[in-house]
Amino acid sequence: MAEIANLGHSFGELPDAQKSIFDLGEFVGDLTIEDDASSDDVSLEGLQQELEECKNDDVVANILSKGTKLREYTKGVENNLRQVELDSIQDYIKESDNLVSLHDQIRECDGILSQMETLLSGFQAEIGSISSDIKILQEKSMDMGLKLKNRKVAESKLAKFVEDIIVPPRMVDIIVDGEVNDEFLRTLEILSKKVKFIEVDPMAKTSKALKDVQPELEKLRQKAVSKVFEFIVQKLYALRKPKTNIQILQQSVLLKYKYVISFLKEHGKEVYQEVRAAYIDTMNKVLSAHFRAYIQALEKLQLDIATSTDLIGVEARSMSLFSSRRETLKNRSAVYALGDRINILKEIDQPALIPHIAEASSAKYPYEVLFRSLHKLLMDTATSEYLFCDDFFGEESIFFDIFAGPFAVIDEHLNAILPNCYDAIGLMLMILITHQHQLTMSRRRIPCLDSYLDKVNISLWPRFKMVFDLHLSSLRNANVKMLWEDDIHPHYVMRRYAEFTASLIQLNVEHGDGQLELNLERLRMAVDDLLVKLAKMFPKPKQQIGFLINNYDVAIAVLKEAGSDGGKIQMHFEESLKSNTALFVEELLLEHFSDLIKFVKTRASEDPSSPSDRAVTIAEVEPLVKDFANRWKAAIELMHKDVITSFSNFLCGMDILRAALTQLLLYYTRLSDCIKRIPGGSVLNKDLVSISSIMYEIRKYSRTF
């Protein structure tokens, strides 16, 4: 490039005239192309293949078609190349001025770039020094950041320590002079935390500040304990005021200050025990007084149902003698019949009775109603008190100390009532009420009355068993002569027994006590024995059987009326009724058609045509036929009147009459069949009553039914 530039300079120095006559041919010289000496040694191997490849080339094809020699063609090409080269050089020479200018510009740029290089090298050196400075600053910054972090941690710990250990003047003022309110409770919590802090924190125990702070905190603790003790005691005294709604006072006042109790537990255990004892004493006395007053008010509402003489097997005359001074009951059957008393089980969750309202309406209630009301009040009061004690004191055991008094009051009442209670129905109702109350407390998930209700249940069952045994003994040891009345209608003892048994069966449906079922079976056997003894007091068998039928029928009717499943007892009476009905039918027919029945049973089955001295003859049956024809309608009417007057239950009497008439028809049919078999018996046809006539009479009485 430099040589060309120098050449340019040399040309530039020539005069213009010389430039114009410059001859490239003279300058280059006469160029000749000599023959290649080694051309004869060129190998022609592969020529054919190259020719094949180049046969499609236009230039090669043109050369080959013209037959031009290759050497000549080559020389022509070389001359052309030389000429092109010379032309290019000439063009280059023409541009020499521009190339010189370009060269100058490049040299100037090179100088400028050299200066820039020097400047940038200086910058690079300065940047290197700045980078080292930045690195140093970064290290210092990290060190300062670490120190700052450590100082912040130390500051936070120190600030927390100072905050936990110092006693602000405001806190002192509130504890010493402030009223017990929400702010006081918040301050009390702060004081509790500070007292705990100096007791358990190891740094606080070794700090010099402890000597200054600990005495002040102790004084504040003592002052706070004293102050909250006085406050709680005042609130407890409010519980003793008459007509105070204890539950509202507990929920709206005492529970707001339950933290006071927690503070006393932690920082004033002796005072807490005093508060606990004061609350127990207060509530024990208040609740005991409430329950005692409630029980006294309930006793005025009590309706006496039964006494020791109100037993199934006791004769009515002795009962009226002993009960002449007693208040006359509106419904004497309440002693044995359940009636509407069962409704108390549907009202198990109703509110307790309000005595003064009931007394104002002059209402009287069986004892089970008062029993339910008393225990409903007990359950609600116990539930409220149990939850309050658990929330306020955090102790469940305190409940039992409080309710020792109310339990004793109720126990005293029950111990006075139960020994004089001879109402077996009422006792069974109380047992079921207690069971329902146990389920209620279980649903509430309040276990505080479990042991008490178990004890009540244990006291009720033996009393019920004793009263039941009194009824059983009254049947077994009954004075038959005193009980017997010359009347075959249902005996009052049987009605008592039926009502009593139906009541207990109905109450036992849900309870399902197997022991009670056994006792009822024993009672059934005793009343059966007594009925048989009473029946034997009647002189005639028909009266005896009629008496038994009437009593069995009333027992079945009462058991069905109760709407309960009488079970084995009802089945027993139904079978007894059926068997005695058959006996009564025979006795009734014997009374009016004894000769006819005797003949049919003894002779009607014999074959009159058989040779025998005792063959049935017309003379033997003729009186029977004529007698029956003369008075059968009158006899049936007498039987109808007899049945109507003998049986209290019209339906039962009509069933017996139909059975008697059906049996009579069977006897007379057998008699008619016997006559047909007697030789010459057709002579009696005019006296025989047709079967259709008897059937018509039977249907007539059926229509009457």
Q: Which pair of tokens denotes residue 127?
A: 């940047």
How much of the chain is helix, strand and coil, in % rounded to 5?
80, 0, 20
If asked whether residues 375 and 236 sit together in one domain, one would say: no
Residues 340, 465 within the same domain: yes
**What is the model's pLDDT at position 203?**
65
Residue-wise over 456-473: b if at least 16 C-beta within 10 A, else e? beeebbebbeebbebbbe
In a domain, 62, yes or no: no
Mean pLDDT of 413-434: 93
Split at pLDDT 50, 70, 90, the class of 434 is very high
Task: Pull the structure tokens for residue 475.
Answer: 């049947």
More confident residue, 513 or 169: 169
In a domain, 508, yes or no: no
Locate 459 and state its tokens. 């006291």
Q: What is the pLDDT of residue 1?
A: 43
What's the rounded Cα separation, in Å, for the pair 376 and 350?
8
Contact 257, 232 (CB under 8 A): yes
Q: Among 626, 632, 630, 612, which Cα is nearest to 678's?
A: 612
Structural domain containing residue 201: 169-284
Q: Could you read off the pLDDT of 112-165 as tens digits, one per residue?
A: 998 898 888 888 888 888 888 888 888 888 989 888 888 888 777 766 666 666
Which residue, of 438, 457, 477, is where some domain finishes?
Answer: 477
Residue 114 counted as domain residue = yes
- Which of 122, 154, 186 lies at the terminal end of a domain, its last residue? 154
Mean pLDDT, rounded, of the chain: 82
Report yes or no on 495 lying in a domain. Answer: no
Indicate the DSSP class of residue 366.
-
Domain boundary among 130, 154, 178: 154
Position 330 scores a pLDDT of 40
pTM, two decimal places: 0.70
Of 65-74, 327-336, 514-523, 608-617, which one has max mean pLDDT?
514-523
pLDDT at 594: 86
Q: Domain total for the chain? A: 4
Note whether 82 and 216 are same-domain residues.
Answer: no
Q: Is residue 521 part of a domain?
A: no
Q: Is the pLDDT of residue 290 over 80?
A: yes
Residues 473 and 394 in one domain: yes
- 27 within a domain of the structure (yes/no): no
How sure is the predictor about 244, in pLDDT bands with cuts at 50, 70 and 90? confident
Residues 191 and 295 reside in one and the same domain: no
Percent of all residues in the chain with a pLDDT value above 90, rounded to a whole number = 28
| Band of pLDDT at residue 32, cut at 50, 70 and 90 | very low
**291 and 279: one domain?**
no
87-92 long-range contacts (CB < 8 A, ≥24 apart) are: 89/24, 90/24, 92/4
Q: What is the pLDDT at residue 3? A: 43
User: In this predicted model, which residue has the larger pLDDT, 326 or 350?
Assistant: 350
Q: Does residue 677 surpass a pLDDT of 70?
A: yes
Residues 351 and 228 grouped into a single domain: no
Tell me, yes or no, whether 358 and 440 share the same domain: yes
Question: Could you tell me if residue 545 is inside a domain?
Answer: no
Q: Which residues contact 335 (CB under 8 A, 6 or more apart)?
A: 305, 306, 310, 423, 425, 496
Lookup: tokens for 333: 């059957």
Question: Which class for 367: exposed (0-12), middle (13-18), buried (19 or more C-beta within 10 A)?
Answer: buried
Q: Grade residue 12 by pLDDT with cuts at 50, 70 and 90.
A: very low
| Higher pLDDT pick, 339 / 206 | 339
User: Do residues 137 and 236 share a domain?
Assistant: no
CA 348 to CA 352: how far, in whole Å? 10
Same-domain check for residues 416 and 313: yes
Q: For residue 60, how many C-alpha atoms fall within 13 Å in the half-sphere facing its CB?
A: 8
- Could you give the CA distance from residue 324 to residue 637 in angstroms, rounded to a whole number? 45
**Can you give the pLDDT at residue 43?**
61
Tell me, yes or no, whether 248 and 289 share the same domain. Answer: no
- Residue 51 placed within a domain: no
Q: pLDDT tens digits, residue range 392-423?
A: 888 888 999 999 999 999 999 999 999 999 99
Which among 231, 249, 230 is positioned nearest to 241, based on CA atoms? Answer: 249
pLDDT tens-digit readout, 184-240: 888 888 888 877 777 666 666 666 666 667 777 788 888 888 888 888 888 888 888
Sorted by sequence, the CB contacts under 8 Å of residue 658 that are 6+ apart come out as 698, 701, 702, 705
**218 and 274 share one domain:** yes
